[in-house]
A and B are shown apart, each in its own frame.
Chain A
Amino acid sequence: MSEIYIICVEDEPQVLDVIVKDLEAMEEVFPIEVASSVAEARKLIKEIHQQGGRIGLALCDHIMPGEYGVDLLIEMQNNPFTRNTRKVLITGQAGLEDTIMAVNKARLNHYIAKPWNPEELLEIVRLELTQYVIATEKELLRYMSVLDPVRLQEEIRSRGYI
């Protein structure tokens, strides 16, 4: 069974540090990898692909040197490998137009404004990853401790088997 990764794309190291720290609890089951730019993120996605992993969630900043986060998310939507990756924009500087593009062209799943509430962040990440595993995993029990147990239970029941 391949690993499901969380990737965080953010150019400011101080912000990246605290995002990763806030999501530490997830690393029991979902390893976290980081990238400081869109270009770096592309390499990372390729590496994960080559190693046989999958990307369950991408947490992306928008304004970064080089290319912008929304553009990466759109790319990911168009790439079959990352099409069902849950996509979350975490930013303070995406204008309305860019956000609309992210929703329409990248099928953005969630928008988090900086600064974020750590409990909310964790909650959203849990929610998104729960959706991901429901969509892609046969075996859901192992995720009960780390994701949304209620939702998982519902899903298990509706599938009719464990």
Chain B
Amino acid sequence: MATFRRNFVSNADIVNTINSMLPDSTWLRGLLRKYHSGEVILREGQENDSLFVILEGQVSMEKEGDNLSTRIDLQEPGDFFGLLSFHTGKPVFTTSRAHSDVTLLAINHQSFEEINNQYPNISHTLQGMVFSNLAHRYKRVVMLHVEVDNLSRELEKEKDQLKHTIKVLEKTRNMLISQEKMAVLGELTAGLAHEMNNPASALLRSVDFLVKNLPEMFDKSARIQEKSLMRFFFESGQQREFVSSEGQREKTRNLAEKYPDLGRPEVRLMSEMHPDAFDALVPYASNSRKRELFELYLEAFQTGVFTNSITLSASRIENLVKSLRSFSRHNKGEREKMDIRKGIGETLMILGSRLKNIEVELNLPEIPPVNCYPGEINQVWTNIIINACDAMEEKGRLIVSCRYDGSGSVWVDIADTGPGIPAKFRKKIFSPSFTTKAAGGEFGLGLGLSISKSIVEKHQGIITVSDRPGGGAVFTVRLPVGN
């Protein structure tokens, strides 16, 4: 009759018991299995009908994960594995791999029966072993649970730390963008002042001329009865197109010869007239009695010319100021939907004389508006275009094109015909403080492209540089149209 006995069995007991019986039992020895280190004994998911007892060596229990296996446990001599599949017939739960060269006792169902019948000692021991092992495994579960809890709490703390660090980095990035914007703005403003010199000169002088001459013209006009052509000559002057060429000079010379009584300024004005105005004036040119009227008509013509200058210059100044405004616009912390082509246009305008010797080619078809910070996006164009101009030493071609890819992103390519970017620099070019320009006072202090990258990434976009087939560099910016 079997009696219940409290049954704590140590691993040593198990191994010793079995080892002591091995010499006397061929059958038992037949159950021995040996594996080399690294060999898989049981693979997760396979069918198994044996219980394995470790006599020598170590076996590592592993659970397969997505990319790697997690070591669950390392079993020692006296431990066993394969219990679940042996007992329930379900597939192996945990892979068992020899951690060193191992000697195992493999007990299948038949052998188990046999052991129960022939070797009651072992059977009893085995039972104890099973319970010990299961108890051990349960303890492990509890310990692991506690460990997981602790780790979770640690993780939460780290997560909070990380959140804080990200906030600080965001702030720093925005600060750098802001600083660079100021540098850009500074450079642009200086450039702008220069840009304005020409239209300002034309404007000021033209207005001065009008202010000085109009009153007298009105007086003269009042005196002379016949003045029906005043408006005609004024409007003709507004439409005058300036030409400087050998042909023009010859024309002026011929007129001077034809009208020796007229001064050079008069002849010059006449030669600039369209044929219809010229023809209308000729009768007065050679008639000395009509001299006053002739002069008046010429003055009306020149008034038209200067009035047109005023219109053109004022409009140019307006455009310059407008494009600067888009750069200095304060971001209210919100994005706007903008047609980025507008920003490209404004950038080109504000860079004015830098582009005087550069052939600018634009391929800008319709694209959807992009949700963005317009000022910052313009910073990116400014950056790239200024770099292109510098690379080309202000002579060459600049090709700007854009397209919508049909799946949520707008692509912009800015290409130049400069020397291109050597392969070794292509990755470094976007890192801060990379510059090939002399130090001191140069644009952007080398931050330019790195800030541009930062801005593009802030907009969830990508910026890359590549070789232009035919020579030069192409900067490609991809911007998601946005939420």
Contact = CB atoms under 8 A, between A and B. Distances in A.
The majority secondary structure among interface residues of chain B is helix
Given A14-B199, A21-B205, A64 B244 contact: no
Interface residues of B, number: 32
Interface stretch (A25-33, A127-135, A153-161): A25-33
Contacts, number: 81
Interface string B57-83: 000000000000000000000000000
B24 interface: no
Interface in A30-59: 31-36, 40, 43-44, 47
Given A15-B202, A93-B197, A47 B246 contact: yes
Contacts of A21: 205, 209, 302, 306
A34 B206 CA distance: 18
Q: How large is the interface on A (under 10, 10 to 19, 20 to 34, 35 or more residues)?
A: 35 or more
Contacts of A63: 353, 356
B224 to A, nearest CB: 23
B244 A40 contact: yes
A80 interface: no
A34 B248 CA distance: 10
B386 interface: no
Nearest to B202: A14
Given A12-B198, A36-B244, A92-B198, A18 B209 contact: yes
Nearest to A66: B357
Contact of B249 (A12, A44, A92): A44
B298 to A, nearest CB: 12
A15 B299 CA distance: 18
Given A47-B246, A63-B353, A14 B264 contact: no
A22 interface: yes
Interface in B240-295: 242, 244-246, 249, 263-265, 268
Nearest to A117: B204
Nearest to A8: B244
B356 A43 contact: no
25 contacts: A14-B206, A17-B202, A17-B305, A17-B309, A18-B202, A24-B265, A27-B264, A28-B263, A34-B244, A36-B242, A36-B244, A40-B245, A47-B246, A63-B353, A63-B356, A65-B356, A65-B357, A91-B197, A92-B194, A92-B196, A93-B194, A93-B197, A114-B198, A115-B205, A118-B205
Given A14-B309, A18-B202, A36-B242, 4 more contacts: A14-B313, A15-B201, A17-B202, A65-B357
